[in-house]
Every structure is written in structure tokens, then in C-alpha cells.
Amino acid sequence: MLEIAIIIGSTRPGRVNEQVAQWAFEKAAARNDAEFELVDIAGYDLPLYDEPLSPFWNKYTHAHTKRWSEKIATFDGYVFVTPEYNHSTSGALKNAIDYLYYEWGNKAAGFISYGGSANGTRAVEHLRLIMGELSVADVRAQVALSLFTDFEGYTVFKPTTDHEKQLTTMLDQVIAWSAALKSLRTEGAYQAM
């Protein structure tokens, strides 16, 4: 069974990110083609990148990095839930991604974003560039949520019904690509040096 992480990509106090991720998890958990797990970056207490070596060398010294590495390595694919801050993703999510390298590779990723006028799509565009560098296949379908129409008072998540269809399409793609890429991981095509 494929294992897909739904990553809560914000650590801000009062964040709505957790509500969005929980909604996605509840919908995804009803599927029978993969298993899903919520992964909250806030629970890993990752300071600004503090390893002495690049993650390319896969030689971690800190317990928080080793714990994060062990968790991320267990998954076949990812769904990143991201806010849009200043036309990009959250600094906390970028930092969490930057901690690792090989753990991400030859897997698939989908995106759920939220924000003001662009519904978080600019954050996803930045994440797509980052995923390319990590050899992660990002899928085309995404869920883009508006702080104006999908949140009551900007704080209580109340998605419109069309977003569930978008979520299903995105998950279909993440699962298909995760399955297709699994052979690359099992054949050792993307191993640490």
C-alpha cells in the first residue's frame, strides 16, 4: 500500500493550515488505494537549517534532523498544504524541505494552497521549482483556496463543494505517479552517496 504524507506547511500561531490539512486527510482516508498520514512540521521543532553539512551528503548530526529524515523517508508521495506569504510559500515549509535531499527523491507531490487574490497559486509555483530540484514529480492538478470565499471570517475553513472534486483529481494523480516512481526507489536509482 502506498504511503502518502499530507504535510501541514505552516507553524504560525492561529494558522488555518491545520484545518485545511485535516479536511484533506479526512477525504483522503476514505480511499482504498493508499494510506495517508498528517505530518505537522511544527511538531519537529526544526530551527533555521543548522546542520554543518549540506543534506546532499546525507550525514546528519542533530536529533531533530534525523527524526525528520526518518519520517519523510517512509512516504511514497506528498501533499503539501501551503499558505501564500508574499508571493511564496511559508519560510517554515521551505526550511523543512531544505533539511533533506535524498528522502524526497523519485516521489510525487501535489499541492493545496490558500491565500488572498491568487488563492496561494504563487506559493505553489515556487514549490514546483523546488520539487524539480529534488527530483520530485509534481502533479498538474491542485486545490487553490480563497481566504475570501473558503474561510468564514478568514479563520474557519468552509470549503465550497467544487474543491472536493479538485482534491480527488489531485490525489488520483499523486497516487498514480507515486506508484509509477516506486520502481525507481526500489531499484536504488536515487541513493545517497
Domains parsed from the chain with CATH numbers: 3-186 (3.40.50.360)
Determine the Cα–Cα distance for residues 45 and 178; give it in Å rounded to an integer: 28
pLDDT at res. 115:
96
Tens-binned pLDDT, residue by residue, of the chain (193 aa): 999 999 999 999 999 999 999 999 999 999 999 999 999 999 999 999 999 999 999 999 999 999 999 999 999 999 999 999 999 999 999 999 999 999 999 999 999 999 998 999 999 999 999 999 999 999 999 999 999 999 999 999 999 889 999 999 999 999 999 999 998 887 655 554 4
pLDDT at res. 117:
87
pLDDT at res. 65:
98
Determine the Cα–Cα distance for residues 148 and 153; give it in Å rounded to an integer: 8
* CA nearest to 174, candidates 19, 27, 33, 41: 33
pLDDT at res. 189:
55
Q: Are 36 and 4 a contacting pair, CB within 8 Å? A: yes
The two most distant CA atoms of the chain are separated, in Å, by 50
Q: Which residues pair with 4 in a beta bridge?
A: 36, 77
Query: What are φ and ψ of residue 87, in 5° steps?
Result: 70, 20
pLDDT at res. 168:
98
pLDDT at res. 193:
40
Q: Are 36 and 112 a contacting pair, CB within 8 Å? A: no
| pTM, entire model | 0.95
pLDDT at res. 192:
44
Q: For 13-40, give one letter per residue: b (16+ CB within 10 A) or e.
A: eebbbebbbebbbebbeeeeebebebbb
Which burial class, exposed, middle or buried, applies to 41 when counting CB atoms under 10 A from its CB (0-12, 13-18, 19+)? Answer: buried
Annotate the chain with three-state secondary structure.
CCEEEEEECCCCCCCCHHHHHHHHHHHHHCCCCCEEEEEEHHHHCCCCCCCCCCHHHCCCCCHHHHHHHHHHHCCCEEEEEEECECCECCHHHHHHHHCCCHHHCCEEEEEEEEECCCCCHHHHHHHHHHHHHCCEEEEEEEEEEECCCCEECCCEECCCCHHHHHHHHHHHHHHHHHHHHHHHHHCCCCCCC
